[in-house]
Chain A
Amino acid sequence: MLQEPLKRKTHLSIALALVFFFVIYPLLVDAEASYLVFLFYTAFMYVTLSQGWNIAAGYAGQVSLGQHAFFGIGCYVTAITWRAGTAGYLDPLAMLMSGAGAAVVAIVVGLPLLAKLRGDYFALGTLGLGEILRVAALNGGSFTEGAAGISIPSDVYQSIKPYYFIALLISVLTMLSLWFIAHSRIGLALVAIREDETAASANGIPILRYKILAFTLGAFVTGLCGSLNAYFVFHIDTTGAFNLNWVIMPILMVILGGVGTFVGPVLGVFSLIAAFELIRLLTPQLHPIFSGAFIILVTLFLPDGIMSYLTGHKNRLLHKLSPFKWLALNK
């Protein structure tokens, strides 16, 4: 984890240059007509979603399969407040509320789940949470408008630029907070929990508090993304909001990039999106087959993620992830 100051400086300047590039890119091209601007917007969303999963799963070892629940909550809080007139278009307050809503659910559900469940059981529990919320929204009567979903007139839409910059801002803020957490006492505590919960507890680390913190932070940023998505699609229903894709894709991206690493998920997001786009270029019709084949190829040849390939270190964190702890076959 520790890096020499010089190396750190280069990393920082690369990061700044990248952010600078992303900030000016839509100003240089015709943003409305540029497909790349839309792709970047999607990528920023997935960076946030991926890191939201990574913080609990990668750093603290609590693998959640219920991120789509938080995404859906974000969508619905925004859509409901918007419909009621309490929030406006791209209202920062509504977005924060959406994130907070997801965070509150994460705390309420996380308390019993994280206190009681370990490993796979926690993963299965969160999967159940997502499905319960989906069915609840489907049967929510006039509050969620059930299967019909909430439709908001799209004539307020003017440009993709605000979406682009908000998504960029959220992802940068997520990355920053992850950086500070990873390099603070909290980060050390999280890793200690992942490595050996019993030992961490014996050393006086309040494990439940830290687990909840990581889980809640992940839920909060995921809720933010859901909110932005609601503003972008103008029609929120259960199929779109609680779609399992919102949990599966980020997990794929993080694993592709490197679980429990800081830069890995970002690489994962961009390479997966680029790969899918390329496959679509070659064959517009067959691409779902290729995405399946692509995932299989990656796991066969890059099982530890791109990061470990680049740095040459075997991703040891992966082996220690408590949820799917591999029973050390080759020991």
Chain B
Amino acid sequence: MATALRQLRPQAAPRPTGAWLRWVPALTLGLFLAPVGAGLIGTWLPAFGYFPALGGTEIGLAPWRALFDYPGLGTSVWLSLCSGVLATAVSMGLTIGFVAACHNTSVFARLRRLLAPLLAVPHLAIAVGLSFLIAPSGWILRLVSPWATGWQIPPDVALVQDPYGLALTLALVVKETPFLLLMTIAALDQARAGDRLAVARSLGYGPVTAWLKTVLPAIYPQIRLPIYAVLAYSLSVVDMAIFLAPQTPPPLAILVFRWFNDPDLAMRFVGAAGAVLQLALVMAAICVWRLAEWGADWQGRRWLTAGGRGGAGWLSCRIAGSAMTGLYGIAAASLLGLALWSVARRWPYPEALPVSWTLDNWVRQAYGLWWAGGTTLLTGIAAAAVALALTLGCLENEQRRGLTTSGRGLWLLYAPLLVPQVGFLFGVQVLLVRLDFDGTWIALIWSHLLFVLPYVFLSLADSYRRLDPRYARAALCLGASPNRVFWRVKLPMLIRPVLFAAAVGFAVSVAQYLPTLFAGAGRFATLTTEAVALAGGADRRVLGVYAFLQALLPLLAFAAVLAWPSRRHRASAPPAGAAL
């Protein structure tokens, strides 16, 4: 055998063509990780007093003292923690409970098909719509007043911006559960959940117990990073919190955001310290969550091996199915409320519907809508296109070189999603100002790319890697060059997942609030920034117009993907978990 081995003279592998491709992953990482790193450093330095532009040249703890002396800081931190952790726990529980109890049912299939539009709707539109829905003067109370409640005027209770942040938590659950559901469904396909379930069922386990005991342990590692991303987002969200969280004191992220925009420039130091605290809060929450996972794992093992078979699970299916349907219902009602307000002329309390209708709200806002909508559209298309090109380059490079991705690569991809936006965007802004680059289109699109790219990559990677490699081999052996194989075989076969990824990227870009402000230097108004700017004004009709259009653009993008002709694409892999 030893001689046999020696006789195996390795030959030089055929040189892959397209040498420039090998630089795409490095370019991608540089484009989107370098700003995060630079942004963090640019935030940390002022937090410790170093910010020469504002006369801070001495390293010290003065910003921290000012931060901790700030009245109500403790309440702000507590509020962030409560709403963030609760929203993540409920979203995860709902997702896992629903998939465990309802897999292979018609409810599951139906809700899965409706997942794409729910994912498309931006966070802010849900927040505004929800505030229209559950406020004391909101749609729900109008529907039951006065005949059930007897209220002729809105009751004086804080149903939105409530002191416990429950309205914010609810909105986060409505928006984050679909994301976790999508990631879970994608993981199911990879874990061959069907085989595992079949084995467990044949051993006498009930469907829900079988799923929890054999499928969940296999897929949890794959949904761990998405859960951490949800946790980081929920702990540090700004745009939703402006509408739904209490404002005196507000959650920490809003406090930090206010300090960064304070007319008193000295507050930038306090803001930077607050941003570091926000980052520490997120990291600590992730660490505690990880510890809880270990605890659950230890407990779960005993439960797993104890042999309990569980029941038929029809009741849990009924409950989980209703809860998830209710969640979809809230999202749909929120959107419908936005649409109604945008065409209402008069809608006095407690009427269930507007008493007179008009398109004037749209016509009067036409100029602002045209500019903000155009900026939103251009930025979204550009960011999605760049992200798609980089993603395809990385995936194609990976396949031509036969590379496999490591877990570490995935962590890098998730980095911008795990670091709170207020934790590093100030540093990015400082960097852009120094480079005399702030307020340019490139800076705007680049700042969106940081958050668009991970989602585009995540939605395309599975489909791309799962395409049967023999199609490409067959084409190569027919004499097609690797580039021709890419353009003529892979792209056409994967056209729907590719378009789906582009739509995801567009939707993510439309939803961005802080990056637009920080990198755009206030020069760019998008539908999102305009809607937030209207938060104090309280004219629901104008707000309804902006928020509805903000939701409409991504929905149209997804509708366009769905409408794409599908003849002769039946063999291409559908995007992971997508309802196409």
Partners in one complex: no
